Amino acid sequence: MKKTEQHIVIGLGITGLSCARFLSRHQLPFVVMDSRENPPNLEMFRQTYPDVAVYTGKSWPQTLLNEAKCLVVSPGVAVTTPAIATAKAHGVDIIGDIELFARHNQAPIIAITGANGKSTVTTLVGEMAKAAGRKVAVVGNIGTPVLDVLSQENDYDLVVMELSSFQLETTYSLRPIAATVLNITPDHLDRYASFADYAAAKHRIYHEAQHAIINQQDLLSMSPTLGADVKRHYFTLSVPSKEEWGLCWQEGTCWLAQGETLLLPTSKMKMFGQHNFANALSALALGSAAGLPMDSMLQTLQTFSGLAHRCQSVACVNEIQWVNDSKGTNIGACQAALEGIGKQLTGKIVLLLGGDGKGADFNDLAPMVTQFCRQIIVMGKDTPLIQQALAAKVETHVAHDMQEAVQIASMTARAGDVVLLSPACSSLDQYRDFAHRGETFVEAVKRILHLDTNTH
């Protein structure tokens, strides 16, 4: 079948719009298809590109797909969609925005994926690069579409990219200078035939990478098809061997280390929790492989407080740390925060929790609460259920709102403690969303502790 020069953009979301902008700038012919009858950006698109054909709804013209030069498929659209699979069988190139970017990009790339922590590590590596004076773009699944970087006049000398498994499915020629799969846990199994298929999609990030950064404590982070010419670097939360990145103890102090070289006491990091130690070690390994200077990276770790609402350090007053983990909207997230923070403390955790538990069993929190918490302060819709599950395990207070919860915490926490907002619940009973809840917590902490509004 004779091919045209037509590109077909599949999906009219944020990614699809960035693809359209890119193709238009490069004067490449394209049309757009979306399975929704009325995609949210449709009117704006038609005003901006009145001469571009748009096909909406379930029935796409298959002949047009089969004759296209390539399909640029948005991450939210499965490549197993019958119309796309048929086009592929006719020899049509099936790519995504990341692959389109890779074919035009000239800057070195650091690529990051994983089930947990990838946004934090991507942001952290970006900050390390900025501290080193590099002109860096932080893009991908984290927010800024990658193709928008290519539109800017000033060239970047480094691109730090967060990638999802969906984006990696259609990526073939990224060739990152350093890449990592931070960890893999079962997810998106509605999209993949098996957990192995999901893992294989993640492992595509290592394809033609120069350096692979591998989690020594998560065997799935290592690809079984990793090429022999790829330089391997390992990070671990145990004592590192040789050139590994890990944790060392010396005279009662825990250090980030590479082999026997002590780099930074973890107490000097702004981020909290063992999961953030792993994030820091992976970032150091990635940055080192890409040539970032160690001094700049270590300095960044002493100022970077983490992403907003994800175990974010808010303040430290009278040896009491205040941490915002408002994004901990379920039992599992709260458990991870309690374990990650509790294991490193000399004191205990004062836990603020509550909201709409969406039917969760709060008894599942009992072991962690018993082990790590001095007390819990409960608020919101499911206060009675939380009390029923946990009041017999730990000292419990009830607050009517965030202001009162923070006030109680400020009177009961002791030196060496962490006051942690990790609600284990949805926020919608009292707040617009988890971000609004976290902002309310931060404001209350600063007001009650008499801190300047810019204090972190």
**Binding-site residues from annotation:** 114-120
Q: Is 114 left (phi over 0), alpha (psi -120 to 50) or beta?
A: left
Antiparallel, parallel or unpaired: β 136-140 and 320-324: unpaired
| Residues in CB range of 445: below 8 A, 6 or more apart | 314, 315, 322, 406, 419, 451
| Catalytic member of 7, 105, 118, 348 | 118
Query: CB count, 10 Å around CB of 75?
Result: 21
The neighbouring-strand residues paired with 274 are: none
| Catalytic member of 3, 88, 90, 188 | 188
Distance CA 377, CA 369 (A): 12
26 with 48: CB under 8 angstroms?
no
Cβ density class 46-62: b for 16+ within 10 Å, e for less: eeebeebebbbeeebee
| Catalytic member of 141, 183, 276, 279 | 141
13 with 73: CB under 8 angstroms?
no
Copy the structure tokens of residue 85: 């699979």
293 with 125: CB under 8 angstroms?
no
Q: At what angle do helices 118-131 and 274-289 cross, to 10 degrees?
A: 50
118 in active site = yes
Distance CA 208, CA 172 (A): 9
The residues that are catalytic are 118, 141, 188
